Amino acid sequence: MKMAHANEIVIRTSFDENGKTYNGDVLNLEGLREVKGVVTGKITKGLVSGGGLKVLGFYDKIDSLDLKFQMRMEDTTVEDSEICFTQRMPPNSYIHLLATSGTMSNSKALFKFEGLHLSKNVFLLLEGTKVRWEGGGGDHAKRAVVVFTGNEISSIDDASGLFLLNTSAENAESILSSNNINVLTISDHSALGVDWGSCTGCTGATVAVPQISVSESSMFRLSHLTVENNAPLLANEGSVSITDASLYFVVDCAVNSGSLFTFDKFIVSGSSLVSFIRLKVQGSLFATKSTVDESAVDSSSRLYANVELNGKELTEDDFQQHGLHVSAVVTSNDRLADNKCAYSSCMPNNFEIQPSEQSCGCVCKNDKYQLPVCTSVLDPVNGYDNTQKPPCKVSNCWQCTPSDENKCANCFPDYNMTEDKKCIFIEPPPPPTPKPEPTPTPIIVPSGRGDIINDSSRDKSYCGIARCQKCTSNLKFCRVCEPGYEVSLSKEECMTTQGTSRVAGLSFIGVVSALLTTVLL
């Protein structure tokens, strides 16, 4: 049963709201289920307070949708409230929340992902978020920029992506955390990235996720994060599984006081890659204990590391003592011991090894993969400068050129860049015309032949087996062939009887019969 909400707006057409206050409001996207074409939504300088704002997706799974949905929330202020995304976001959606700021005094998350599923080309980006929790009371475990909650499993799949970009949190528990979910799955060419962020005065791990599964050429990434206050960078509260040519990597992060990881079980398989690159730590490698309970990297996969712990670069033996089976320690410029490139930040199977290897950056196999690591989904860190994002006046543009706000450098997914640096929508190709079922060519036989043997109905129809006089009722096997032919052992064809001793004998009898017939006549 679908429950009605106070202040609920069912979205069916494009909308543009400026300066509106949201207090217990619901944007219900269920109305988009029957809409075709492009629907855009824009919320500028909104205020979220009290009962907050909920974006309600689809109640059940939908296989396809002839819709492109785009929503942008910019310069939103949150006062002691939350923005909630729940259920399934519509397929083919691009949702961008830019420059959200908040001041919180209670114990709740700024963004709550309640039973959230991103599936079938959904891109959700939270960029430039700044939030501060005031006061020392309440449950710090609930203070997070983003919290997954409300379902046993949350998923990102089928070429979808979730990115937290340029996030600043003060006095929180975490930037990203989970509550009451058992598994977070990232699968089928999808991605989750937390990039360019700081967590000042945070009491827990900067990123704290439950059991996590990354599979089918998908990516999990932490990059350019800074940690203070004796907290760990990453805590996986359960097993970690990376398989099917997937990428799990932590790069360019600094722990000024604290630890890097908390892992219980770490399994890498199926030509996958794990990389811990250019990490600097003042503290310890692991938060609660000195080793991983269980870790394994199969022969087809790799685990590369470049970690400086308390001023010392760790060796393979150092990692081994902590229970991590490292394939190789690489240099800060991504070189192996033989000076070859490790390609430690490139999606397996999606990049090309360069003959000269003057640079170890990723070169994607073709245009369908996105730099910088050759993911299948748009990656917002490509060319990103966290200090200043150029102003942009081009519609459907992710990022303009630094020198001209009227020229786009990177268009949204499903948009093509024109010669004058604008972005135009790529109309989806029409569905293929269904091909008619092939009609079998009937075998023309003399009258009275081609009967289907069926004692109950004695139906007459053409037999689908050449030279067959009588077929079985299912038309698959022959019972009686024409003269000069006999049923094969499989009963699926009629074989000629000429050229064999048996045929010769039958032919001789036929000749004698013909002569006798002539004499009688």
Q: What's the pLDDT score for residue 497?
A: 66
Q: What is the mean pLDDT of the chain?
A: 83
The DSSP symbol for 29 reads G
Q: In the block, which residue shows the tokens 């990123």?
A: 207
Task: Note the pLDDT of residue 446.
Answer: 40
Say yes or no to pLDDT of 119 above 80. yes
- Residue 468's contacts (CB-CB under 8 Å, 6 or more residues apart) are 443, 450, 478, 479, 480, 481, 482, 487, 494
Instruction: Give yes or no for a cis peptide into 431 (omega within 30° of 0).
Output: no
Q: What is the pLDDT of residues 298-320, one digit of tens each?
A: 999 999 999 999 999 999 999 98
Q: How many percent of the chain have pLDDT more than 70?
A: 82
Planar angle of CA 111, 113, 117, nearest 5 degrees: 145
What does the alpha-carbon distance between residue 334 and residue 40 come to, in Å, rounded to a whole number? 42
The pLDDT of residue 443 is 41
Answer with the residue of higher pLDDT: 136 or 405.
405
Above 50 in pLDDT, residue 507? no
Predicted local confidence at residue 425, as pLDDT: 81
pLDDT of residue 508: 37
The alpha carbon dihedral of 144, 98, 347, 355 has a sign of negative
Mean pLDDT of 455-466: 51
pLDDT at 409: 79
Please determine, for residue 445, whether its predicted confidence score (pLDDT) is greater than 70.
no
Q: Are 303 and 325 in contact (CB under 8 A)?
A: yes
Minimum mean pLDDT range among 3-7, 430-434, 449-453: 449-453
**Token pair 């192996």 in the structure block, residue:** 336
Of the chain, the end-to-end C-alpha distance in Å amounts to 89
Per this entry, what is the length of the chain? 521
List the structure tokens of 56: 């309600």
At 455, the pLDDT band (50, 70, 90 cuts) reads: very low
Read off the pLDDT band of 459 (50, 70, 90): very low
Return left, alpha or beta for 320; rule: phi > 0 is left, psi -120 to 50 is alpha, else beta. alpha
Q: What is the DSSP letter of 291?
A: S
pLDDT of residue 183: 86
Instruction: Answer yes or no: are the C-beta atoms of 203 and 173 closer than 8 Å.
Output: yes
pLDDT exceeds cutoff 90 at 486: no
Q: pLDDT tens across 90-116, in order?
A: 999 999 999 999 989 877 899 999 999
**CA atoms of 452 and 469, how far apart (whole Å):** 9
Q: Taking a C-beta distance cutoff of 8 angstroms, is the pair 48, 22 a contact? A: yes
Task: Return the pLDDT at 140.
Answer: 59
* H-type alpha helices, 391-492: none
C-alpha span between 141 and 371 (Å, rounded): 35
What is the CB neighbour count within 10 angstroms for residue 1? 3
pLDDT (tens digit per residue) in 234-290: 988 788 999 999 999 999 999 988 888 888 788 999 999 999 999 999 988 886 665
* pLDDT surpasses 50 at 3: no
pLDDT band per the 50, 70, 90 thresholds, residue 386? low
What distance in Å separates the CA atoms of residue 417 and residue 428, rounded to the nearest whole number? Answer: 16
Closest CA to 263 of 291, 242, 284, 243: 291
Helix (H) or strand (E) holding 126: strand 122-127
Q: Give mean pLDDT, residues 67-82.
A: 93
Hey, what amino acid is at 408? C
Which has more pLDDT, 192 or 403?
192
